[in-house]
A and B are shown apart, each in its own frame.
Chain A
Amino acid sequence: MDFIWTESLPGVPFEQVRKIEGKENIETMFAPYIMDESKLKGHAEWLFFPKEEEEVVSVVREMKKRGAPITISAARTGIVGGCVPFGGAILSLEKLNAILGLGFDEKTKQWYIKSQPGVSLKELNEKVIQKKFPELEEKQKELMDQFRQDEKTYYYPVDPTEKTAHIGGTVSTDASGARSYKYGSTRKWVRKIRVVLADGEILEIPRGKYYASSEGTFTFQNTKGETKTFSIPSYRIGTNVKNAAGLFTEPSMDLIDLFIGSEGILGVITEVEVWITEKPESVITVIAFFPTEMDAASFVNDIRRKDSDLKTEFLEYLCPESLKLLRKKQNSDPNLVNMPPIPEKSAAIIFEISYTEDNLSKIFEILEAIAIKNNSSMEQTWACYKDREIERITAFRHLLPETVNAIIAKRKRENPAIHKLGTDMAVPKIPEVNLAEILSFYREKLRESNLEHVIFGHIGDNHVHINILPKDEKELEKAKELYKVFAKKAVSLGGTVSAEHGIGKIKKEYFNIMFDEDKRRQIIEVKQALDPTDLFSIGNMVDI
């Protein structure tokens, strides 16, 4: 039997950990901590700010003794209520905010960063790109010199829109962004994690060390000699679906992947190591306009087929309704939109390709041929290759969800019951027809329903968000029903109800469409093995 041994740290006196006590205290003076970006509001009796791993251990031990559940929190940028507490303690990791080291893996010749969980993606990338780590200059002078002597620029390529998200949170939710089309989700980039488990012991998990047995089990042993063996779930999610729902599982899986994307239900991540990669020197970002949604979808399929030549960084979508909304905004506030007049009656694909002066013409020719085949051309594009100009396109892309949120906020002021309904479904990339099929399905149902909506997002991964903007409670109910219809359809095609946002507390209804009772039981069994007293993140993903 292959044991996985956990270690024990002495911990520090519990009184030493900075804490805020009292439900009302927290509600009035620390209100942001009982919510996340979903605006779901919770409550808690305790709020802890540990400064180091040993303080985390102390809190876990103490709360376990008192039977108080722990909700793990950091940047609170999630949108499914994952860090929203309902009783018990909030464990905020924001003080574990140091970048601990730079590393160079001699075997794979790759650079990586070792960090505490409370470091934002923004800070991480700024430091990596500029090769400036004030905290490491002395400690790792030689390695920093070597890093700087490497002529290439590096970066961490996983790019969720919200750059203030913390690296720890992105690991526990397996976050992704537009660039995940080329680079994959966070999972692909995690080299190692350290986790504090429910019994207060610590497990350091490098990738490539612990694999599930041929029977599909893992066996842990703690310092007290207690062992537990549990089975990994046996359900299978296709590999060409971008998925963030449920626990990751595959035959002979690496243990690290069980924790990545587990939404905090299995333990507290106190340290991560992530790979960084070469940043393309020159990229050209293009917005291409198509007469119809189907032309745009067909363009995407054609580009994907040519990807060995093009190596597209990302493929994003703005549907005709999205462009209509943005055009309206452009008429009232042209400076905010800051783009040339948006063409009427079209759909847009936004993509980015890295190039050299030598191959730019060749790339153009390939794209021109594909565009013409799909009733457009490279003349009907806006293209940028300088940083400042590219930022305009990025801002334009983000402006759509921002505009939707602003409209919803306005409607909410008049009718507090209203909120946005945003879907997060994806279907497998193979077979190719899936994209057109799911889009036509969405369209048909939305047309029937007469609800105001936009469709946009990571079309390259067959992952587009539908945002429905209800005008009143009746429409809200209709939208919720429609969401379920969409979820069922996506699942029926082998897809997922959550490609990137996760399940948290508010997507469980849809989770249950994708994961029947049996599948959920398999997840609960893993949870109960590692966290028998339901200490961590109660309410996330599954109800015990």
Chain B
Amino acid sequence: MKIIVCIKQVPAGEVKINPETGTLIREGVESILNPFCEYALDEAIRIKKEQEEERGEKVEIIVLTMGPPQARSALLRCLELGSDRAILLCDRKFAGADTLATSLALSEAIQKFEVDFTLVFTGKQAIDGDTAQVGPELAEHLGISQITYAISTTLIPERKRIQVKRETENGYEIVECKLPALISVSGGSNIRKIPSFKEIINARKKRIRTVTADELSKDTEKFGLSGSPTQVAKVFPPKGRTGGQKIESDDPEKAVDRLIEFLQENGFVEKE
């Protein structure tokens, strides 16, 4: 069984804009594997363990990403956590891609190199773009079903189906669909696994295949900036909201007095 996990390397923590130049300050910001992609990988690995232990089924996890050369370190982490091999789509022609061009490149790579897949896992959203679009768009390009906001999955191989518990606005629902399918994962343990030294060494023996745009398709205009229908016209820092009064609570009774005053002044509590 082949499971593909699409991942993204993102800047960790807070990325800010230089208010003078209006450009992103990338200096000194470490790159990490997007947390939601890690959750997606967690689920793929869980299924692999389950299928191998319970049914003796051989499962291969391939991680795929489109990114600059440094995205290798994110792929390496996936290999350390238990993926079997990796594909890096790396080419200047991929640069400047919006979600459509990105999902298209990913889908062409899957169709060209790993077309016999059973499942595709993606993270719900990347913490830099925050669009949550690539997963569903990829599913559309591949022509397969999608289930989004997944927090846990149950594979039913005998019926060629997967059941997914997904978040809804006021709770959860269990949805079932036929395989192959794309699942975008929304939840997972936020305490991240730490690989053992052995897994780190083994990861360096696994294959990371680099693919250029030309290798992927004769028509490279559909990738990167030229293939992106959305364009960023302007980037700017958000308008701040300033804080009001702040008091110390060495006398909590007094602090509550002032709090009640504030509530009364603003009409949330009736004046006495």
Binding between chains A and B: yes
CB distance from A356 to the nearest CB of B (A): 13
Residues of A within 8 A of B194 (CB): 339-340, 382-384, 389, 392
- A369 to chain B minimum Cβ distance, whole angstroms, is 13
A142–B194 Cα distance when bound, in Å, is: 44
Query: Is B155's beta carbon under 8 Å from chain A?
Result: no
**CB within 8 Å of A: which B198-219 residues:** 198-201, 204
Q: How far is the CA of A286 from the CA of B196 in the complex (A)?
A: 8
Chain A interface size band reads 20 to 34
Q: Chain B residues with Cβ under 8 A from A381's Cβ?
A: 196-198
Interface-side segment among A10-18, A359-367, A510-518: A359-367
Are the CB atoms of B30 and A386 closer together than 8 Å? Answer: yes
A284 on the B face (CB < 8 A): yes
Q: Evaluate contact between A334 and B191: CB separation under 8 angstroms.
A: yes
Given known A388-B12, A388-B30, A388-B32, contact A383–B200 (CB-CB < 8 A): yes
**Of A29-37, A309-317, A372-380, which stretch is located at the interface?**
A372-380
Cβ contacts under 8 Å, B193 to chain A = 340
Complex alpha-carbon distance, A286 and B201, angstroms: 13
- Complex Cα distance, B125 from A461, in Å, reads 47
User: A338 in the interface, Cβ–Cβ < 8 Å?
Assistant: yes
Q: Which residue of B lies closest to A382 (CB)?
A: B194
B22 interfacial contact with A, CB 8 Å = no
Contact of B30 among A340, A367, A384, A387 (CB under 8 A): A387
Given A334-B191, A340-B191, CB of A367 within 8 Å of CB of B197: yes
Residue contact A379 to B196, C-beta cutoff 8 Å:
yes
Instruction: Give Cα A378–Cα B200 distance, bound, in whole angstroms.
Output: 10
For the complex formed, measure the closest distance between the CB of B189 and the CB atoms of chain A, giving whole angstroms.
9
Q: Is the CB of B191 within 8 A of A380?
A: no
Q: Does A108 contact B (CB under 8 A)?
A: no
Task: For A337, give the chain B residue with the smallest CB separation.
Answer: B191
For B, the interface residue count at a CB cutoff of 8 angstroms equals 16
Contact B196 A361 (CB under 8 A): no
Question: A385 at the A/B interface (Cβ < 8 Å)?
Answer: yes
Q: Tell me if A335 counts as interface (CB < 8 A to partner B).
A: yes
CB atoms of B201 and A361 under 8 A apart: yes
Instruction: Give Cα distance in the complex from A79 to B196, angstroms.
Output: 36
- Contact A377:B191 (CB < 8 A) given known A360-B204, A387-B30, A388-B30: no
25 interchain pairs (CB within 8 A)? A284-B197, A334-B191, A335-B190, A339-B191, A339-B194, A340-B194, A360-B201, A361-B201, A364-B197, A368-B198, A378-B198, A379-B196, A379-B199, A380-B196, A382-B194, A382-B195, A383-B196, A383-B197, A385-B200, A386-B32, A386-B73, A387-B30, A388-B30, A388-B32, A389-B194
Chain A residues engaging chain B, CB cutoff 8 angstroms:
284, 286, 334-335, 338-340, 360-361, 364, 367-368, 377-389, 392
Using CB atoms and an 8 Å cutoff, list the residues of chain B in contact with chain A: 12, 30, 32, 73, 190-191, 193-201, 204
Task: Using A360-B201, A378-B201, A381-B196 as known contacts, list a sample of 20 further A-B pairs with CB atoms less than 8 Å apart, ordered by residue number in A.
Answer: A284-B197, A286-B197, A334-B191, A335-B190, A335-B191, A339-B194, A340-B191, A340-B193, A364-B201, A368-B198, A377-B198, A378-B197, A378-B198, A382-B195, A383-B195, A386-B30, A386-B73, A388-B12, A388-B30, A388-B32
